[in-house]
Amino acid sequence: MYFGMSLGRTGVDFRGLLGDMFEKAVLDMVGKMISTGTDHFVESIKTRKWAPSSSSTGTAVSPSIAKSPAPFGRTSNILNWALFNHFFFFLFFFLTATTAADDTVAPPTILVEFSHLGALCNSYIAAFNELRQVPIISIIPQLCKLLETNMNAAVAELTSIHTHKRPTMRTDEGRAFADFCKAAMDVFAPFIQQCLIALYSAQAKDIEQLLDIRRITAPLRPLVSTAVAASAAPTVSTKSSTASTPIM
């Protein structure tokens, strides 16, 4: 842009031609990172063992998107830590995205208990960190469409697992799967929307309309409600209770 401004003195200002090129480059970069994370999630979730996690207790999974009153100016902090669990090295990035209202968006710590969701969140955050360097406003519609497409793919894989594998799961495995779906619906998806809003705070209302989390996660709601109903159902005893009659 600096050279274009200098050449503009001689009538050769080419800066107007660079906008589309920058937009395409940024979308390609962010799209590749998000799509790669989604593809890895879809492939890895197919072979996941649905062992109950510490949060699989039948209680509601609540998001932990914190708001900090402490002012951080216009900077962003990234906290990294590693979790080694069952020989699985899990790297999770913490993004602190600060807006003018000092709303701090931090990754929900409960995602650590759902490693596949945490890894997917990690890939999206890495893409957002790259986008944070050049937050081009004009690409918001395409960016929301990109996120919607990838999140729909993740949701579709979970519904496919419910259709083909849920009937053969044990009770504890079914509860773990339902908790995973609830975390994806109530924690992961809203957090991704909040990250995007943190990058484009002035366009928050547009993002909420373009990236409709309730519409994206709608297929997961029957999965969770079915599991909740099943866990709340009373247990029917299979023992026969016959009245003892005296033998004459």
Above 80 in pLDDT, residue 25? Answer: yes
Above 70 in pLDDT, residue 130? Answer: yes
**Cα 108 to Cα 118, 127, 191, distances in angstroms:** 9, 18, 8
Q: Positive or negative, the Cα torsion across 68, 72, 74, 75?
A: negative
In this prediction, residue 62 has a pLDDT band, given cuts at 50, 70 and 90, of very low
Domain boundaries, the chain: 22-229
Average pLDDT over residues 101-106: 56
Average pLDDT over residues 117-140: 92
CA distance 34 to 119: 11
Residue 237: predicted pLDDT: 43
> What are the contacts of 7-13 at 24+ separation with CB within 8 A?
none
Higher pLDDT pick, 55 / 22: 22
In this prediction, residue 165 has a pLDDT band, given cuts at 50, 70 and 90, of confident
The string of pLDDT tens digits covering residues 138-159 is 999 999 999 999 999 999 999 9
Residues 154/120, Cβ–Cβ less than 8 Å: yes
CB-count burial class (<10 Å; 0-12, 13-18, 19+) for 204: middle
Residues 93/107, Cβ–Cβ less than 8 Å: yes
Least confident range from 114-118, 153-157, 239-243: namely: 239-243
The total of other beta-carbon atoms located within 10 Å of residue 84's CB is: 8
Higher pLDDT pick, 235 / 31: 31
Residue 34: predicted pLDDT: 96
Angle formed at CA 17 by CA 15 and CA 23, multiple of 5 degrees = 100
In this prediction, residue 54 has a pLDDT band, given cuts at 50, 70 and 90, of low
CA distance 124 to 189: 11
| Tokens describing residue 83 | 């979790």
| Tokens describing residue 26 | 């940024």
Q: What DSSP line would sit under 115-179, residue for residue?
A: HHHHHHHHHHHHHHHHHTTS--GGGHHHHHHHHHHHHHHHHHHHHHHHHHTGGGS-HHHHHHHHH
